[in-house]
Amino acid sequence: MPAQVTLRLDFEGPRRLGHGKISLLESIRRNGSISAAGREHGMSYRRAWLLVDELNRMFREPIVATKGGGRNGGGAALTEMGERVVTLYRSAERKMARSAKAEIEKIEQSLAPAAGEPV
C-alpha cells in the first residue's frame, strides 16, 4: 500500500486542523449526529463534542450546526462553512500528495520491509 499523505495546519496559537478533525466532520456529514460520528471514531460523545466546539470557535462562522432534541430528535450537520473547510482541506491534501509523489516514492523505496513481509 502506498504511503498516505495527511496534512496538519498549525495556525497561530493552539489552533490546529488535521486529518482527525476533518474525518470527524465527514462522519458528522454522513451520520447527521455528533454521537454517531464519535462512535465511528472510537471516541466518547464528550470528546467528539469538545472537538466540534473547538472547531466552531476556531472559525469566524460555525462549522457544525446542532439541533437539540435528544434521543428521538436532535442531530448535527455541517454548515456551508463546514462543507467549505472540508472541501478546501481535502483539495490541499490531494495537491500536496501529487506535488510530492516522486519524493515519497523514493522514500518508500528506502524503507526496510514491514514486520511479516518477505525480505
Q: In angstroms, rounded to a whole number, what is the distance separating the alpha carbons of residues 31 and 23?
A: 12
Residue type, 112: A
Given a cut of 80, is residue 54 above it in pLDDT? Answer: yes
Rg (CA), the chain: 18
For each of the domains in the chain, give its residue range(s) and CATH number, in order of start. 14-95 (1.10.10.10)
Rounded to 5 degrees, φ, ψ at 46 are -60, -45
Rounded to 5 degrees, φ, ψ at 12 are -55, 140
pLDDT tens track for 19-50? 999 999 999 999 999 999 999 999 999 999 99
The mean pLDDT value for 43-72 works out to 92
Helices and strands in the chain, H and E counts: 5, 4
pLDDT tens track for 70-111? 666 679 999 999 999 999 999 999 999 999 999 999 999 999
